[in-house]
Amino acid sequence: MRYRLTHAALQDIQDIVHEIRVSQHSPQNARLVVSRLKEEFRRLVTMPRLGHPREEIEDGAACVIHVRGVLVIYDLTLKPLTILRVVHAARDLKRIDIRT
């Protein structure tokens, strides 16, 4: 059960956790989000076809799943499964470079 996070995905998660801690003043919620993301990453390893392509993303290998208000963008063709980005669900996916 292996997966890999890109540098951009790691930075995305750090930014999300920081925002939750600062705006909500809730370290507990930040830990919960990280826990749920890790759980979903592990689930994707065993069932990579859970996600679906999005027309806003022109990368044919990229799939997206929704996890607690964020979108996890991953490449199901890479081994290990690679998490490309983790972004707020309200973000415009056309403006995100998923292969940074």
For residue range 16-71, what is the model confidence (pLDDT) as tens digits?
A: 999 999 988 989 999 999 999 999 999 999 999 999 999 999 899 999 999 988 99
What's the rounded Cα separation, in Å, for the pair 72 and 12? 10
pTM (two decimals): 0.92
For residue range 79-94, what is the model confidence (pLDDT) as tens digits?
A: 999 999 999 998 999 9
* Domains in the chain, CATH or no CATH each: 3-95 (3.30.2310.20)
